[in-house]
Amino acid sequence: MKYLSWKDVEYMVYGGAFLAGGGGGGMDAGLAMLAELEKRYPDYKVPMISPEEMKDDEYAAVFGGIGAPTAVDIKTVLDLFDKLLKHGYEVAAEEVPHGIAAALPPEQGSLCCILPILVSIAQGIPVVDADGCDRACPGLECCLYTLNGVPFYPGILTSERGHIIRIEPSDPLDAAIIERTTRRILDLYENMLGMTCWYSSKEDILTKLVPGTLSKAIAVGKAILEAKEKGVDVSETVGKLVPLKLLAEGVVTKKESVINEGHDIATTIVTDAEGVEYRILAANESMALENLTTGETVMSCPDVICSIDKDNYYPLSTADVLEGMHVQYFGTPVDEKWFATETARNSFAPHFKKCGYEGPMVRF
């Protein structure tokens, strides 16, 4: 078991935001929640275990949220998340054999890595160095938990009003129905819901999910801040840790976005120093990056299209990208489990359609 300092968690927020590929929550919220946690628990060390350290009969649960809080004060937001996830833990722990031994993040992202830490603090359990995406994903049906057969049930949604909503589908692997159901339930509430689900055994994590993702986020985040301190391009530091290639660099000359069924559907145009235009199509996460001058797709999901504010060394979510920014888009390969089956390879197709991408899947 390792014990993470708050500095390690800061690295995790930076790296998670970069590796999320445009989703997983914005950096501002992640860093603000981290600062508040450090203020409240200055001496706390976050226990983190590898999947191998779990017992064969133990389960880790995913702790996350859907929707967005209406409160803007970070203390209020943190208290809300804390309340929702504590409630979810208490309900789920009574139904899972041997209880819940550890907390899992749903995916990469600046916020997604913070939420399991709240459960760790409240319940005294470790977080697991793993997740079910190795990136951020636009829906419950589009992640390795679902694609590789980790049951969602018992899916526990908790509300600010103290309501408990159980998602008990006849087929616990029918994530498309689960996704639509949770989105409709969310419409009945003003802000957001806590979510506890995807109860994963040691074998599940090792064979169906992606071990080592939090350690990777910490290393990448540290490398980004090292590049900032040295004043060098992030490719010089991050590129030593993970395969990385520059897809596009330039100024954001145009951005259009609309919220559709809870997704940030965005089209961003980046123009480089030679006048070459690139188009990034997003459905929360960046789905595809096209060279408009040549008409070719440079890269698409499932591999990760990472974005960063070059001047400030600040990883960007899709919502964070603004006209006039000097940005870089990098590609990095996602875990090979995304390409192990035809279903997994094609799982982003509905989200390609949502953002208007009609081209082929193009790998790193």
How many H-runs (helices) and E-runs (strands) does the chain carry? 11, 18
Higher local confidence (pLDDT), 64 or 254: 254
% of the chain at pLDDT higher than 70: 98
Going by pLDDT thresholds of 50, 70 and 90, the confidence category of residue 68 is low
Contact call for residues 107 and 24 (beta carbons, < 8 A): yes
Residues 44-60, mean pLDDT to the nearest whole number? 96
pLDDT of 345 strictly over 70: yes
What does the block give as tokens for 291?
């060279």
Residues 187-202, mean pLDDT to the nearest whole number? 86
Query: Residue 224 burial by CB count (10 A; 0-12/13-18/19+): exposed, middle or buried?
Result: buried
Domains 2-213 and 242-355 share a fold: no
242-355: in CATH 2.60.40.10: no
Give 2-213's CATH code, choosing from 3.30.420.40, 2.30.33.40, 3.30.930.10, 3.40.1610.10. Answer: 3.40.1610.10
pLDDT of 72 strictly over 70: no
Cα 184 to Cα 167: distance, rounded to the nearest angstrom = 12
Q: Could you read off the pLDDT of 301-340 as tens digits, one per residue? A: 999 999 999 999 999 999 999 999 999 999 999 999 999 9
pLDDT of 71 strictly over 60: no
Contact call for residues 37 and 27 (beta carbons, < 8 A): no
Contact call for residues 118 and 79 (beta carbons, < 8 A): no
Q: What is the pLDDT of residue 123?
A: 94
What does the block give as tokens for 301?
């999901």
Residues 132-136, mean pLDDT to the nearest whole number? 96
Cα 112 to Cα 23: distance, rounded to the nearest angstrom = 10
Q: What is the pTM of this model?
A: 0.94
Residues 121-145, mean pLDDT to the nearest whole number? 94
Q: What is the pLDDT of residue 259?
A: 79
Sequence ranges of the domains in the chain:
2-213, 242-355
Could you tell me which of 232, 248, 238, 193 has the C-alpha nearest to residue 216? 238
**Average pLDDT across the chain, whole number:** 92
Contact call for residues 118 and 100 (beta carbons, < 8 A): no
pLDDT of 18 strictly over 60: yes
Note the residue count of the chain: 364
Cα 329 to Cα 287: distance, rounded to the nearest angstrom = 12
